[in-house]
């Protein structure tokens, strides 16, 4: 380049001499917005990539605003969500997944510390909705319905709000202060919550409200087929958590020094870890299948094992006789899922046994309502619009057929709120077509350096207090910046720099477009795009 000419002058001269495209071009580039895998698998429908993009700029309030568009409980879910988003993160193929869960927790905690509130609701519609149950599904439904302008009342049978977040998760995992802070935002929107208010007659409520949402959960413990002889100390896991929550005194619960927990789910893991914190010196989890088949989350299993809890797999309990537990060994074929008895028996000793083999729905509230039926497995039947067989009565959360996690319950609350709104307004819910999911092969990772994941794992501690895990603002920015922005342009301008025809135009808002008058369809822009946001398409 002639150094006597400013770059802008040379570029302008070069541009003026460009040749427009002839009729031979068959493919041309298009900017596309694809679905990142993290967004696609999030049950609550969070736009993970978008809030990470704000977080990496240090715009934490905007990041929080994006999260709560789909999930009103970032601080809670940052503690108890099983973050399936991280299991599909494309960054796994480069080094390690982005620590999305820890980042959500950090953003949620910042919001609580700053007292951030939800935005105001739209004008009142004059419609009233009753929500039965204040678990994550009911609370989420109340949030979205209130934001849509409806008057909402929640009736909760227990003394405290929160459902299984309060009564099914130990406080060392989810403190009361976090639950209270995030629920307070919902009541600040105008949602009325009545505790110690069990709904006994649903028919009478149907005359007072325009719609009803049943989020009654699955709180009745399943009783195992186990012979329990007099003198044995038996307690159900959910009952244990309720006693601890209600009594507010852990010293009042005596489990003894040796505890056995029967079950393999997350509740069983939580019960075993709580037993340690209540003074047990030896805790065994008894599970009928293999460790790989346990329904508990991998992270939870790891935590339990690291605390010294033993898991006795391929065993079922036949009887409990005072402090002696008779077990039968099992044979399990992981491919077929067939479980058979081996005929071999063994015994272990325990001062108490905690049963944690599942819960089912208390159907007393719906027994006399025409049209509402219990489907197989003791769950409430609903259609694709989350409505039961009784017009105007909807249901979601653990009470219907789905995996029982808080994230899925929130998703049900959000989905039901939109269907209830459509029912009340006489409109249909618009079904949006989801874009294609972008996989790792569509990315050009030559532009992404390997950056260590920030984990901030606290030292192991068997305590009733939550272990402190706090990211600094700088660490939030660094970890958020590890996001690859899969499938969506983040304005790196590689396409602008590589285009040999200067056919890429920068628009005033910073976005880009292809000037097809000059594009030759070579595809260099698509090849050099780091995030796979340019697609070569057949010329029309």
Predicted confidence (pLDDT) per residue in 355-372, tens digit: 999 888 888 888 878 888
Residues 307 and 240 in one domain: yes
Q: Report helix, strand and coil shares of the chain as percent, to nearest 5.
A: 35, 20, 50
Residue 110 tokens read as: 């910042």
Cα gap 533→489, rounded to integer Å: 5
CA nearest 484: which of 106, 97, 103, 61? 97
The kind and range of the H/E element at 321 are: strand 315-321
Cβ atoms of 359 and 219 closer than 8 Å: yes
Cβ atoms of 345 and 327 closer than 8 Å: yes
Q: Is residue 292 part of a domain?
A: yes
For the chain, residues with pLDDT lower than 70 are 1-24, 246-252, 376-377, 457-460
What's the pLDDT score for residue 333? 86
Q: Is residue 431 part of a domain?
A: no
Residues 101 and 189 in one domain: no
Predicted confidence (pLDDT) per residue in 130-170, tens digit: 999 999 999 999 999 999 999 999 999 999 999 989 988 99
Cα gap 489→113, rounded to integer Å: 33
Cα gap 187→527, rounded to integer Å: 51
Residues 243 and 344 in one domain: yes
Question: Phi/psi at 332 (nearest 5 deg)?
Answer: -135, 125
Q: Is residue 2 part of a domain?
A: no
Domain count, the chain: 4
Cβ atoms of 83 and 101 closer than 8 Å: yes
CATH number at residue 60: 1.10.1060.10
Q: Is residue 11 part of a domain?
A: no
Residue 523 Ramachandran class (φ > 0 left, ψ -120 to 50 alpha, else beta): left
Residues 333 and 301 in one domain: yes
Give me the half-sphere count of Cα atoms (radius 13 Å) on the Cβ side of residue 193. 26
Residues 234 and 348 in one domain: yes
What's the pLDDT score for residue 4? 37
Predicted confidence (pLDDT) per residue in 207-236, tens digit: 899 999 999 988 788 888 899 999 899 999
Residue with tokens 């690291």: 306
End of a domain among 357, 376, 403?
A: 357
User: For residue 259, what are the domain limits?
Assistant: 224-357
CA angle 153, 80, 263 (to 5 degrees): 105
What's the pLDDT score for residue 225? 87
Residues 456 and 494 in one domain: no
What's the pLDDT score for residue 516? 86
Q: Is residue 430 part of a domain?
A: no
Residues 346 and 373 in one domain: no
Residues 415 and 469 in one domain: no
What's the pLDDT score for residue 459? 60
- Which residues, at least 6 apart from 138, have a Cβ–Cβ distance to it below 8 Å? 131, 132, 154, 163, 213, 215, 397, 413
Residues 318 and 373 in one domain: no
Residues 352 and 241 in one domain: yes
The predicted model scores a pTM of 0.90
Residues 229 and 321 in one domain: yes
């Amino acid at each position: 380049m002639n150094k006597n000419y400013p770059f802008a002058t040379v570029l302008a001269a070069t541009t003026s001499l460009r040749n427009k495209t002839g009729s031979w071009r068959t493919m041309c580039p298009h900017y596309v917005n694809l679905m990142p895998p993290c967004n696609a698998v999030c049950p609550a429908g969070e736009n993970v990539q978008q809030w990470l993009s704000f977080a990496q700029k240090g715009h934490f309030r905007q990041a929080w605003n994006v999260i709560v568009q789909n999930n009103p409980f970032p601080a809670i879910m940052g503690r108890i969500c099983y973050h399936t988003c991280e299991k599909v993160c494309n960054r796994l193929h480069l080094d390690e997944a982005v620590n999305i869960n820890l980042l959500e927790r950090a953003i949620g905690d910042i919001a609580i510390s700053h007292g951030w509130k939800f935005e105001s609701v739209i004008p009142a519609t004059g419609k009233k909705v009753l929500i039965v149950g204040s678990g994550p599904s009911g609370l989420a439904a109340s949030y979205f319905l209130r934001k849509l302008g409806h008057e909402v009342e929640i009736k909760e049978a227990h003394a405290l709000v929160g459902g299984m977040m309060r009564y099914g998760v130990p406080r060392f995992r989810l403190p009361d202060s976090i639950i209270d802070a995030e629920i307070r935002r919902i009541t600040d929107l105008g949602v009325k919550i009545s505790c110690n208010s069990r709904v006994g007659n649903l028919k009478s409520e149907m005359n007072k409200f325009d719609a009803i949402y049943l989020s009654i959960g699955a709180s009745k413990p399943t009783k195992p087929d186990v012979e329990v002889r007099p003198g044995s100390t038996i307690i159900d896991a959910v009952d244990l958590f309720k006693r601890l929550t209600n009594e507010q005194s852990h010293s009042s619960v005596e489990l003894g020094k040796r505890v056995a927990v029967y079950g393999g789910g997350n509740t069983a893991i939580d019960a075993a870890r709580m037993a340690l914190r209540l003074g047990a010196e030896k805790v065994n989890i008894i599970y009928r299948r293999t460790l790989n088949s346990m329904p508990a989350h991998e992270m939870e299993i790891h935590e339990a094992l690291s605390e010294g809890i033993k898991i006795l797999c391929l065993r079922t309990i036949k009887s409990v006789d005072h402090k002696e537990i008779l077990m039968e060994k099992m044979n399990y074929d992981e491919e077929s899922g067939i479980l058979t008895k081996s005929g071999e028996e063994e015994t272990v000793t325990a001062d108490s046994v905690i049963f944690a083999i599942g819960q089912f729905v208390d159907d007393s509230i719906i027994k006399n309502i025409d049209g509402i039926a219990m489907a197989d497995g003791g769950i409430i039947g609903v259609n694709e619009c989350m409505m039961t067989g009784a017009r105007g009565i909807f249901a979601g959360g653990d009470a219907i057929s789905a995996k029982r996690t808080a994230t899925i319950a929130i998703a049900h609350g959000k989905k039901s709120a939109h269907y209830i709104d459509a029912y009340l307004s006489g409109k249909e819910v618009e079904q949006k077509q989801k874009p294609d999911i972008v996989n790792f092969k569509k990315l050009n990772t030559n532009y992404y350096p390997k950056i260590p994941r920030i984990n901030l794992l606290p030292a192991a501690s068997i305590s009733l207090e939550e272990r402190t895990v706090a990211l600094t603002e700088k660490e939030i920015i660094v970890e958020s910046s590890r996001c690859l922005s899969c499938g969506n342009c983040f304005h790196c301008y590689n396409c602008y720099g590589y285009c040999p025809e200067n056919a890429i135009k920068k628009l005033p808002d910073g976005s880009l477009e292809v000037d097809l008058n000059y594009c030759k369809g070579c595809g260099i822009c698509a090849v050099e795009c780091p995030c796979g946001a340019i697609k070569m398409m057949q010329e029309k």
